[in-house]
C-alpha cells in the first residue's frame, strides 16, 4: 500500500459512502421536486468530500501512530515527517516496512554477535595481559624477598637474584613497549617512512642479528630468490621488525637441527616474502586467531620462549599499515609458513 494508494482508497470509500447516503436520501425525496437532482448532486459531493478527508487523514494517522515510529527507529530518526512520506510516496508501505524491518533485524543480530565476540576477546585479552604482567612481577617480588631474607649477605645469591630481577624487568619493559607500539599503529600515530631498499639485504641483516639464537638450536638459515636484488618501497625499520618477529618465532618454535627459510616471490606489482620453518606446526583451529594480541597456541610455553605474545599482532598491524596482506599456513608436526606482501619500487624516470 503506497501513499498514493491511500488517496485512491479514500476516493473509493468516499464515493461508496456518498453513493449510499444519496441512495438512502432518494427514499424520502419526491423525484418530481424541482430541486431534486441539484439536491442529490450537492449531497453526494458534500458527503464524498467529508468522507474523503476523514478517511485519508484516518489512514495517515494510522501510519503516524503505528508504522512511522518503526520506520524512524530503523532509520535512527534521521528522517523528518516530510522526508518520511516522500520516501514512501512510490513504495508499497507494508512490504517496504516489512523489508526494512527484516534488514534492520538482521543487522542488529550481526551487531549483537559481533559485540559478544568482542566482549569474549576483551575478557581473554585482559586475562592474557594480567597473566603476562603477573609472571615477571611475581618473579621480581620473589627475588626481592629472597634478598631481604638474607640473600644480600650472600654474594652468589645476591648477584644471581639481581640478574634474574633484571631479566624480569626487561620483560616488563618489552611488554609495555610492544603494547605502546600496537596502540600507536592502531591509532595511526605511527607514521611510516617509505623508502626504496633491497629486501634481500634486509633479510641477510636479520639473519646476522639472530645468528646466535639460531646457533643455540643448530638451526640453519636459507634465503631463496631468483634475483640478486629485489627492490621494494616500504618503511625499512618497520619491515625489519616484521622479519625479526617472524624469524625469531621460526627459531623459538622450530625443531633442533632444523631450518628457517625465507623465500621471495615475484607477484607483478608486489613481492611476497615467506618465512618458513621446520618446527612443530600449528593446528588449523588456531590459525584464524594467531595475529590477536597475547594469543598463544600453547599456554604452557608463554614465557619459556621469551616473547611478549605481541609479535604477530605487531606484524599484522605493520603490514596492514602498508596496505598489504599477511597470511599463515601450517601443518602440525611439519612446520609453518608466514607470508606478507610489499609493493615493488617504481623504476625512477630519467
User: What's the CATH code of the domain at 176?
Assistant: 1.10.287.130
Domain boundary residue, one of 140, 164, 187: 187
Q: Are residues 168 and 301 in the same domain?
A: no
Main-chain dihedrals φ then ψ at residue 92, nearest 5 degrees:
-75, 110
Domain boundary residue, one of 162, 187, 212: 187
Does residue 231 fall inside a structural domain? yes
Does residue 155 fall inside a structural domain? yes
pLDDT at position 1 is 47
Q: Are residues 199 and 285 in the same domain?
A: yes
Candidates 60, 61, 55; CA nearest to 89 is 60
When divided into structural domains, the chain yields a total of 3
Quick: pLDDT tens for 230-282.
999 999 999 999 999 999 999 988 889 999 999 999 988 899 999 999 988 88
Q: Which of 142-156, 235-249, 305-319 is the most confident on average?
A: 235-249
Candidates 312, 188, 320, 185; CA nearest to 253 is 312
Q: What is the rounded CA–CA span in Å between residue 203 and residue 209?
A: 10
Strands (E), 154-230: 194-198, 220-224
Domain of 144 in residue numbering reads as 115-187
Does residue 74 fall inside a structural domain? yes
pLDDT at position 336 is 93
Q: What is the rounded CA–CA span in Å between residue 22 and residue 87?
A: 38
Q: Are residues 283 and 320 in the same domain?
A: yes
Quick: pLDDT tens for 160-218.
777 888 888 887 887 787 777 777 777 777 788 999 999 999 999 999 999 999 999 99
Q: Are residues 274 and 159 in the same domain?
A: no
Q: Is 255 helix (H, G, I), strand (E, B) or coil?
A: coil
Quick: pLDDT tens for 60-105.
777 666 666 666 666 655 555 455 555 555 455 556 666 777 787 7
pLDDT at position 350 is 46
Q: What is the rounded CA–CA span in Å between residue 228 and residue 171?
A: 38
Query: Following DSSP, what letter does each residue of 106-125 receive, concatenated?
Result: HHHHHHHHHHHHHHHHHHHH
Does residue 105 fall inside a structural domain? no
Q: What is the rounded CA–CA span in Å between residue 174 and residue 178?
A: 6
Q: Are residues 311 and 203 in the same domain?
A: yes
Amino acid at each position: 500500500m503506497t501513499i498514493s494508494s491511500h488517496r485512491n482508497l479514500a476516493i473509493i470509500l468516499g464515493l461508496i459512502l456518498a453513493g449510499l447516503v444519496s441512495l438512502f436520501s432518494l427514499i424520502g425525496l419526491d423525484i418530481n421536486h424541482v430541486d431534486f437532482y441539484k439536491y442529490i448532486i450537492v449531497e453526494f459531493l458534500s458527503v464524498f468530500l467529508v468522507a474523503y478527508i476523514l478517511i485519508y487523514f484516518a489512514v495517515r494517522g494510522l501510519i503516524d501512530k503505528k508504522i512511522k515510529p518503526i520506520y524512524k527507529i530503523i532509520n535512527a530518526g534521521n528522517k523528518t515527517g516530510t522526508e518520511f512520506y516522500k520516501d514512501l510516496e512510490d513504495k508499497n508501505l507494508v512490504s517496504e516496512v516489512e523489508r526494512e524491518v527484516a534488514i534492520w533485524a538482521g543487522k542488529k543480530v550481526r551487531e549483537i554477535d559481533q559485540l559478544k565476540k568482542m566482549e569474549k576477546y576483551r575478557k581473554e585479552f585482559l586475562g592474557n595481559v594480567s597473566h603476562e604482567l603477573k609472571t615477571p612481577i611475581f618473579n621480581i617480588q620473589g627475588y626481592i624477598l629472597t634478598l631481604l631474607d638474607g640473600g644480600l649477605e650472600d654474594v652468589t645469591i645476591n648477584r644471581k637474584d639481581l640478574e634474574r630481577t633484571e631479566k624480569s624487568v626487561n620483560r616488563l619493559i618489552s611488554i609495555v613497549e610492544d603494547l605502546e607500539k600496537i596502540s600507536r599503529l592502531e591509532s595511526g600515530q605511527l607514521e611510516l617512512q617509505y623508502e626504496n631498499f633491497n629486501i634481500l639485504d634486509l633479510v641477510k641483516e636479520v639473519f646476522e642479528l639472530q645468528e646466535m639464537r639460531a646457533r643455540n638450536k643448530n638451526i640453519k638459515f636459507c634465503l631463496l630468490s631468483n634475483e640478486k636484488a629485489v627492490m621494494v618501497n616500504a618503511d625499512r625499520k618497520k619491515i625489519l621488525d616484521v622479519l625479526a618477529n617472524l624469524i625469531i618465532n621460526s627459531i623459538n618454535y622450530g625443531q633442533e637441527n632444523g631450518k628457517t627459510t625465507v623465500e621471495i616471490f615475484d607477484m607483478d606489482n608486489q613481492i611476497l616474502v615467506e618465512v618458513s620453518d621446520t618446527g612443530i606446526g600449528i593446528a588449523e583451529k588456531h590459525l584464524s586467531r594467531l595475529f590477536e594480541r597475547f594469543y598463544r597456541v600453547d599456554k604452557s610455553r608463554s614465557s619459556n620462549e621469551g616473547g611478549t605474545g605481541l609479535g604477530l599482532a605487531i606484524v599484522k598491524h605493520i603490514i596492514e599499515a602498508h596496505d598489504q596482506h599477511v597470511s599463515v599456513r601450517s601443518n602440525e608436526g611439519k612446520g609453518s609458513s608466514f607470508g606478507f606482501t610489499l609493493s615493488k619500487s617504481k623504476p625512477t624516470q630519467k
